[in-house]
């Protein structure tokens, strides 16, 4: 059975931004190679802009562009949380910048299609005692964020210990 990686994150989280900077290439390699099933859990505990970004990310998945949009969100993360920069219009523009220009995407973003789903992710996180981001589980076991997250080799080793080869 293929290992499962669960990645809990908030797109406004500065530590998530740093984590992505260090580990994004490897995570994408794992996704693209099929070494593991990677489940992204876009949380929204920092504020409404987190909800807007998570909804837009889910909408990008409908266009088979989640990984690209995920990267674009972190590449364009505002310097300050809840700065007012992440609006539905900004998410649509960000989508266009990576080639998502369909009305289906923009309608999904503006309607808030996935807002209820995101709230369920937040509830699920609370039930699993996920109280900060990023939080990564491999096969249901949380890896040690203090020693693994900001060191690419340590992160790879932690995933390998969970069966991601």
DSSP 66-101: HHHHHHHHHHT--SSTT-S---HHHHHHHHHHTT--
Residues 159, 164: Cα–Cα separation, whole Å? 5
* 8-state DSSP, 2: -
**Terminal-residue alpha carbon distance, the chain:** 13
Residue found by looking up tokens 């909800």 in the block: 51
Which residues are 136's β-sheet partners? 7
Region for 44 from its dihedrals, namely left if φ exceeds 0, alpha if ψ lies in -120 to 50, beta otherwise: beta
pLDDT at 155: 86
At 149 the pLDDT is 66
pLDDT tens for each residue of the chain, 165 residues long: 889 999 999 999 999 999 999 998 899 899 889 899 999 999 998 999 999 999 999 999 999 999 999 999 999 999 999 999 999 999 999 999 999 999 999 999 999 999 999 999 999 999 999 989 999 999 999 988 776 667 788 888 888 888 888
DSSP letter at 136 equals: E
Res 1: pLDDT: 81
**The pLDDT of residue 103:** 97
SS3 113: coil
pLDDT score, position 148: 62
């Amino acid at each position: 059975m293929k290992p499962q990686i669960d990645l809990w994150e908030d797109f406004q989280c500065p530590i998530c931004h740093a984590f992505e900077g260090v580990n994004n290439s490897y995570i994408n390699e794992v996704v693209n190679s099929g070494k593991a099933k990677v489940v992204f859990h876009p949380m929204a505990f920092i504020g409404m802009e987190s909800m807007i970004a998570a909804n837009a990310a889910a909408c990008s998945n409908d266009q088979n562009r989640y990984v690209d949009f995920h990267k674009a969100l972190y590449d364009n993360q505002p310097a300050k949380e809840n700065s007012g920069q992440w609006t539905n219009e900004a998410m649509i523009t960000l989508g266009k910048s990576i080639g998502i220009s369909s009305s289906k995407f923009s309608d999904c973003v503006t309607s808030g299609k996935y807002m209820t789903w995101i709230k369920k992710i937040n509830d699920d996180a609370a039930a699993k005692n996920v109280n900060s981001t990023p939080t990564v589980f491999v096969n249901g076991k949380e890896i040690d964020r203090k020693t693994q997250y900001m060191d690419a080799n340590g992160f790879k080793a932690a995933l390998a210990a969970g069966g991601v080869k």
